[in-house]
Amino acid sequence: MRLYDQTFASRLMLGTALYPSPQVMADATRAARPALLTVSLRREGAGGGGFWPLLQALCTETGARLLPNTAGCHTAREAITTGQMAREVFETEWIKLEVIADPETLQPDPFGLVEAARVLSEDGFKVLPYCTEDLAVAEKLLAAGCKVLMPWGAPIGSARGLNNVYGLRVLRARFPEIPLIVDAGLGVPSHAAQALELGYDGVLLNTAVARADDPVTMARAFAMAVDAGRLAYEAGPMAARDMAAPSTPTVGLAAL
C-alpha cells in the first residue's frame, strides 16, 4: 500500500482509543502490526505522562507510522488548529482530518472538511480526510490537495459494516488511481475483507478491536482478514450469477 511518498507492508490502520488498558492496546498493536497507528491530540493531552513514550516504542517495534487525528473537531478552524498543534506534539506532517457535522451519526461536514484540507495541504501536511462516499466531495478533496481518501463504511463505532456497497464500488471505479481507505463502522473481520475485495487499499478501525472481549485476538483476526481480502481481489473473483452453474462435467455420465 502506497500513501503519499511512503510504502507500507500492511493495509491495516489501527486506533489507540477505548482499550481497557495501555497494555492491552500495546498487545493488540503487536498482534495487528498495522501500517499506521492513529492517535488523538486530545488523548495525548488528557492521558498524561506515559502514553506518548508508549506510542513511540510501539511504532519503533512494529514499524507503524504515527497518524495524529483531529477527532472531536466540528469546524474547519478547530481542525486546522488541532492539526498544527499535533504536528508540533507528534513531530509529523501526516494528519487524519476529521470535521464532524452531526453529533448523532458523526457524519463528516463536507464544507468544513474541504476548507480544512485545503489549508492544511497548503501548509505542507499530508492529509488523509475522513469523508463520505460522495463523488462530488471526493473531487473537491482531491482538488484541495489530498492524495488519499478515507470514506466511511458506516457511522463511527456502529459495527454496521459497509452500509453503501454500491456507493463505495462507484467511488473505487471513479478514482482507480487514488488510494482509498474504508474508515469507520467496521465491526467484524469479514467487513474488512469485503472492503479489500472491492479493491479498497486498506481499512482503518478502532472500536471493533478495542471493545472486543479479547482485543488482541480480534486484532490478529482483522490483520488476517485484510490479507485475505486483498489476495481475493488480486485473484480476480468470479462474477455473481442469478442461476446455478454445475461444477461437475456431464461428459462420462451413465446413459439410461
Mean pLDDT of 116-140: 97
Q: With cut-offs at 50, 70 and 90, classify the pLDDT of residue 241.
A: confident
Q: Which residues of 181-200 are buried (b: 16+ CB within 10 A; e: fewer)?
A: bbbbbbbbbebbbbbbbbbb
Cell of 231: 489476495
Q: Is 92 annotated as a binding residue?
A: no
Collect all residues with Cβ–Cβ distance below 8 Å to 171 and sequence separation of at least 6: 133, 135, 138, 149, 151, 180
Asked if residue 210 belongs to a known ligand binding site, the reply is no
Q: What is the pLDDT of residue 147?
A: 97
Question: Is 245 known as a binding-site position?
Answer: no
- pLDDT given at position 256: 64
Q: Which domains are seen in the chain, by residue range? A: 2-235 (3.20.20.70)
Q: Do the annotations mark residue 207 as ligand-binding?
A: yes
- Strand locations in the chain, DSSP E? 2-3, 6-7, 12-15, 36-40, 65-69, 94-97, 126-131, 150-151, 181-183, 202-205
How confident is the model over 183-203, as pLDDT tens digits? 999 999 999 999 999 999 999
pLDDT at 247: 82
Contact between residue 218 and residue 212 where contact means Cβ atoms under 8 Å apart: yes
Q: First-to-last CA distance in the chain?
A: 57
Active centre residues (catalytic):
96
Please state, in angstroms and rounded to a whole number, the distance separating the CA atoms of residues 168 and 172: 6
Instruction: Tell me the whole-structure pTM to 2 decimals.
Output: 0.91
% of the chain residues with pLDDT over 90: 82
Strand-pair category, 2-3 with 6-7 = antiparallel
Whether the predicted pLDDT of 129 surpasses 80: yes
Q: What is the mean pLDDT of residues 142-159?
A: 97
DSSP 148: -
pLDDT of residue 46 exceeding 60: no
Residue 187 known to bind ligand:
no
Model pLDDT for residues 50-86, shown as the tens digit of each residue? 688 888 899 999 999 999 999 999 999 999 999 999 9
Arithmetic mean of pLDDT, 137-157: 97
Query: What mean pLDDT is reported for the chain?
Result: 93
